[in-house]
Structure 1
């Protein structure tokens, strides 16, 4: 699943393991604390608890893109059985804020797709906010808006 040649450097996409939790938590806090999200996590430990819950899922599947052992981005998700075959549900997907726009997000996406195809998964699904750069990124990678589905929440 290696990807190379981006800007003359060598990145690697691989399956995530438990030892990636701490660096992925630190990176997620960095990425989502800034614009356009401004998430207000209490601490890196709070993020770590959040991401550990994904890892504890028996059908968890995560990926990192790294260079020389440093994690530059991650995808946290899980597989889901569906009538048309298994799907990969992306829960969190992010690239280091300082490195966005340089092709790393695309390299991670291509690495994920390659791996999923190898295990006979041919569909990815996710939720993202409208009208933010993430929407354009996912559209560029073949995701489409499902017009017949709505997201609902009930705060009480």
Structure 2
């Protein structure tokens, strides 16, 4: 009878390192979610929401990664991102959190913190179209009952919008 592989302890530092390395695959598209500290609805305030949205207009925070779609809900940010060659997911999300935290006024932070610890991510399946994932993502305000029409919600964007206009 062949020996079975030992089960690794998920609290082991080596296990966490392997998991981080495995999930940061350049060229892979991820659905990311970052919640505010204590899930506070900070972005119900237009000033705070606009400050975080401005982080998306600059290319340098994302470096060579591509933000395909994003939505800012009252208590979280969710994005569809294709990871570039230069950053891990942790580095990319950490940079976004740091820049967006500095962009908002101090009154929206708790002891200096805007975002909660960590983030969640899900790899898009190879047969899952990115545009379908983006549609689902930007439809969150509708499904949450924040607006009746998507056009009534200001805090989202996708790479598929025609920015040139008529």
TM-score by length of 2: 0.27
Higher strand share: 1
Bigger CA radius of gyration: 2
